[in-house]
A and B are shown apart, each in its own frame.
Chain A
């Protein structure tokens, strides 16, 4: 087995381990109906060990890939997003050791799974570094940032548990709507994974030529049936689906098609789950959360921000500025990625001021933590894929 192959296998092992651990954590929490903390502790411990095995396997993936390519695997969408899943699990491990809360694993691990699955939809072959990335600052800047983001995501996990427990899913309210929206958007990511996997396995391809924004002819290959077509497209593949509508030249209809398919599959999945369970997704979790200590969740939420925020400042702003000064000759250039890092930072600064200065604890804090995660994900996904900039390494 070559190093890259070994590396991929280890990632696969990690994925399976996290998957199993999720269910064992769920069992630990659920089996604890009568409040017998002993059984929760025992099953929680087993789940934690499985998580640990998965984490070690993923570290193995990380370092074998590093050894194979000669550079830290943090240089494109696949590598960065996978690492994000890893630091999320790493953050969970630290907080589990501190607080021994299986319920956190039950919520954080599926999110980590989703992130890793999302990552593997991007080209995953080992790729060489462009000159701008050939420096140790790649490891320093990106690893600090990704660790910080993993820890900040834990705060969102704790916040989500808090919300799942306190928001009343029986009564119509803004809170109920937004919480369900969060669950729905997680399922849309599943929809994306399902749709991409299905069309990749069936080897779907449709080629088009079109007129791009500079009025030149260009070609594009769709890997999903083209729901929307590019500007003035002509189909090159026989028997390919006729796009339902045409978009202006600045819109990449290929990406729009992917997003649409994710929503379609995600929505179908959502309603299947909802019809089978006969309740809202957020309500499904209620029985698992009977014994959740809200104060502890609030504490975890705040603790994670307190650890994540300084790390984020260091990695995503200070180290980023030092590297930008060396590679691009200026420490700050209002590149979209930079701006969104600043936005993330400002958001958590506001979070801390509201919490410490205005007493926003409990539910308010939980909503803020989830919103912070949304901003991080926006910076990771949307800024890389939609808003073009210097950081578009996907």
Chain B
């Protein structure tokens, strides 16, 4: 394609609609129009101009608004499909793996669930094709913006004051007529008062205001790109920490992924609304739905070990903070945040037994076994004692005569004990689980009778560190600035030319809010006695309406 040489002698890049220099229409189509197409100032969108290599073709593809909107629509539809059934992360399965998830979808949702799982829609938003779609949108954002921004910037930067008559009279706001000699001086004065930038060249004047609003779309696209790159970085290892920590009351635990930091849980609290006193007005609601949680809270102490200290060595820990973690009030330190997310109530902490004579039910004394710190032997006084031979926190059965434990959590504690009393100095062996006693070495005279238990709660905490948050925030901020810049400000321009013989040409353009533009012009017109202008768009519409009505009348007559 060749450069387009305008009558004024300026060489324009191929694809240009309005001459960059004087504003003459360069295409036949444009010449035949009543109003000029001022989008992108009639410059060539860069990708339209060349269409040669593969790279250019790909580039052009992504530069098109149609393609961009197409990607948005596909993304929108895909996102909607992902909400038909819950995503895998929100599904409750006892053990989380592919097989259990597949079974869950098949069991609960039947055929649809099977297909949903088969298509990978249960984990759609992290699938490669969904990420690719978002990536394509990013490419489209970048390419389309570059393609439009560069020529628009060039064209607005190199604006000429004197435009060709055919450019002027194809503007929506246009006037032609006699005016006094001092019209340019007066117009300049008034326009400056209205905060316009005024440039004079020979017999012409260009007034401009709010050009920066033209950059709005590109600024908000930059914001989106920054946001998306933040999202991308988030997936790079090291930028993002997401860990779970279960901690029981009284425990001290290293905070995962936060070297040198330890957390001690002092107390977990759960509160519900009572519907009494201050809360009386909630009574009806509480009656309807039952209990409503009021507060989940873990009181913690945060410790830090000295820099040179090693994992495992916790004696030199220093207390940093004593705080309560609540929903909406995470604990924050050193870029980390610890959230109250979950809880387990009433885990066994200690159990109290009576040593009793099986026949008479007489008690020889009481012992309390601390499940966190069981002891070898419990002396009951009066010559009686109980030796602990084995402790199995989550008793699950015997294997080769040896009691087994399934987990380290005291869900079903089992104790192997030897009981000594003055009457049985040799001791009697007994195995005790909740509500059951086994006497492996023959009938005993004594037994341990369960009296009471102490429990404690466990808090499920989530530990997060997200270094991409500032990037995401910046992206969001720039996006909002760009949107406001592009939508709430507008770019207004006036061209005035004084012809020989006192005739004045006037044209006005804005990218939006013509009402505001007219208001400005009315003031200038009055002050500088400019000729009366017309809104050519309204003229065109009026004419169309008239034609239509005449046609309707004609139809009715027929």
Contacts and interface: CB of A to CB of B under 8 A. Distances in A.
Interface string B271-293: 00100000101101110110011
Contacts of A358: 65-66, 69
B295 interface: yes
A216 interface: no
A93 B89 CA distance: 44
Contacts of B86: 336, 387-389
Interface string A103-130: 0000000000000000000010111101
Contacts of A336: 83, 86
Contact of A339 (B79, B466, B541): B79
Contacts of B110: 248, 250
A70 to B, nearest CB: 9
A346 B125 contact: no
Nearest to B80: A343
A342 interface: yes
Interface residues of A, number: 54
B76 A130 contact: no
A68 interface: yes
B82 A250 contact: no
A220 B391 CA distance: 46
B336 to A, nearest CB: 11
B83 A125 contact: no
Given A69-B281, A128-B279, A350-B76, A134 B327 contact: yes
B83 A131 contact: no
B66 A134 contact: no
Contact of A353 (B69, B83, B89): B69
Could you tell me the dominant secondary structure of chain B's interface residues? Answer: helix
Interface string B59-88: 000000110110011011001101100110
A210 interface: no
Contact of B541 (A295, A326, A347): A295
A132 B327 contact: yes
Contacts of B479: 313
Contact of A125 (B87, B125, B288, B341): B288
Interface in B259-307: 273, 279, 281-282, 284-286, 288-289, 292-296
Contact of A383 (B72, B83, B279, B487): B83
Contacts of B83: 336, 339-340, 383, 387
Interface string A239-259: 000000000111000000000
A332 B476 CA distance: 14
A354 B72 CA distance: 11
A334 B82 contact: yes
A63 B351 CA distance: 53
A343 B79 CA distance: 7
A327 B472 contact: no
B480 A339 contact: no
A318 B282 contact: no
B380 to A, nearest CB: 46
Contact of A329 (B80, B82, B462): B462
Given A69-B281, A388-B86, A310 B483 contact: yes
Contacts of B87: 334
B109 interface: yes
Contacts of A131: 293-296, 326-328
Given A248-B110, A250-B108, A358-B66, A127 B285 contact: yes
A265 B462 CA distance: 49
Contact of B75 (A306, A326, A346, A388): A346
A123 B282 CA distance: 12
B469 interface: yes
Nearest to A357: B65
B4 interface: no
A249 B125 CA distance: 27
Contacts of B72: 346, 349-350, 353
B394 to A, nearest CB: 25
Contacts of B242: 329-330
A333 interface: yes
A314 interface: yes
Given A130-B292, A339-B79, A383-B83, A123 B285 contact: yes
B285 A250 contact: no
Interface in B293-352: 293-296, 326-328, 330, 337, 339, 341
Contacts of B341: 329
B90 interface: yes
A346 B76 contact: yes
A135 interface: yes
A91 B3 CA distance: 51
Nearest to B109: A250
Nearest to A4: B281
A42 interface: no
A387 B79 CA distance: 14
Interface in B38-76: 65-66, 68-69, 72-73, 75-76
B285 A125 contact: yes
B411 to A, nearest CB: 22
Contacts of A354: 65, 69
From B79, B83, B294, B480, residue with most partner A Cβ within 10 Å: B83
A365 to B, nearest CB: 14
A278 interface: no
B484 interface: yes
Given A4-B281, A329-B464, A340-B83, A318 B327 contact: no
A338 to B, nearest CB: 10
B295 A123 contact: no
16 contacts: A127-B292, A128-B292, A130-B292, A132-B327, A134-B327, A134-B328, A326-B328, A329-B242, A330-B464, A331-B472, A336-B83, A340-B80, A343-B79, A346-B75, A346-B76, A354-B69
Given A131-B296, A248-B110, A318-B480, 11 more contacts: A4-B281, A127-B289, A137-B328, A250-B109, A309-B487, A321-B472, A329-B242, A334-B125, A346-B75, A347-B76, A358-B66
The 5 A-B pairs at the shortest CB distance, nearest first, are namely A127-B285, A357-B65, A131-B327, A125-B284, A329-B339
